[in-house]
A and B are shown apart, each in its own frame.
Chain A
Amino acid sequence: KQEVTQIPAALSVPEGENLVLNCSFTDSAIYNLQWFRQDPGKGLTSLLLIQSSQREQTSGRLNASLDKSSGRSTLYIAASQPGDSATYLCAVLYNAGNMLTFGGGTRLMVKP
């Protein structure tokens, strides 16, 4: 079964701290991996998309890496701000299908 796991489920950090969110997947035959942000009661906002041939993608204070051989992706957030507080979801598109397989998310709280 192709699964995606995110640890920790929740994280609380003081403002200004650099942090790393983790995502692991069981099958290395992925097509791409996407990181999303979800605010409470809202839809998903795409943050970064990494194709299977890529090692990382950067957007502003965000950097996502991909290591297919170890089945891992990380989302690095630099100089965290209270506005970064949200749930972060990673999702994998496996080669075998069209559907995204989501992790359970990491709920991030950045305290002022």
Chain B
Amino acid sequence: DAMVIQNPRYQVTQFGKPVTLSCSQTLNHNVMYWYQQKSSQAPKLLFHYYDKDFNNEADTPDNFQSRRPNTSFCFLDIRSPGLGDAAMYLCATSRVGRALGTQYFGPGTRLLVL
């Protein structure tokens, strides 16, 4: 089935040690999003790609970077994770930039920072 896949589902890293989360999709959607969701809070958009165009939210820390090497894959890089970066990271896709259709979410990667 077409879907949004996130690996790993759980990631443990050490304070300050770079970590990369991955997302892939078989939906052939042109937009991919990364959200951060902390416990009992709503998801917060970090950035999104519209095709190859990268769009960073104004309040996303510089510590967070992203790469999209092709349509199917998108990566979230956290250069120096702090304790406050422990959260669920959600990847989503949509068909067009204005999200005429549904945003499809992956299962998320839960990041723990020790």
| Interface set of A (CB-CB < 8 Å, partner B) | 31-32, 34, 36, 41-46, 49, 51, 89, 91, 93, 98-100, 102-105
- Chain B residues engaging chain A, CB cutoff 8 angstroms: 6, 31, 33, 41-43, 45, 48, 50, 55, 57, 88, 90, 92, 97-108, 110
Residues A102 and B43 in contact, CB atoms below 8 Å apart: yes
Give the CA-CA distance A43 to B92 in the complex, in Å: 10
Tell me which residues across on chain A come within 8 A of B43, comparing CB atoms. Answer: 44, 89, 100, 102
- B42–A103 CB distance below 8 A: yes
Known A46-B104, A98-B31, A100-B103; contact A93-B42, beta-carbon cutoff 8 A: no
In the complex, which residues of chain A have a beta carbon less than 8 angstroms from the beta carbon of B105? 36, 43-46
Instruction: Given A43-B105, A43-B106, A46-B103, verify A93-B45 contact (CB < 8 Å).
Output: no
In the bound assembly, the distance between CA atoms of A100 and B45 in angstroms comes to 8
- B98 x A98 contact (CB < 8 A): yes
Interface residue SS majority, chain A: strand
In the bound complex, CA of A104 to CA of B85 (Å) = 19
Whole-angstrom distance between the Cβ of B72 and the nearest chain A Cβ:
18
Cα A102 to Cα B45 with chains together (Å): 10
B107 with A42: CB separation less than 8 A: yes
8 residue pairs of the A-B complex, CB under 8 angstroms, read A32-B99, A34-B102, A45-B105, A46-B105, A49-B102, A89-B43, A98-B55, A102-B42
Determine the chain B residues whose CB is within 8 A of the CB of A99 once the complex forms: 33, 45, 48, 57
Residues of B within 8 Å of A34, CB to CB, are: 102-103
A98:B97 contact, CB within 8 angstroms: yes
Please report the C-alpha to C-alpha distance between residue A91 and residue B43 in the assembled complex, in whole angstroms.
10
Q: Which A residues touch B104, using CB under 8 A?
A: 46
Cα distance A100–B103 in the bound complex, in angstroms = 9
**Residue contact B98 to A104, C-beta cutoff 8 Å:** no
Q: Which chain B residues border A43 with CB–CB below 8 Å?
A: 6, 90, 105-108
- CB of B57, distance to nearest CB on chain A (Å): 7
A41 to chain B: closest residue by CB: B110
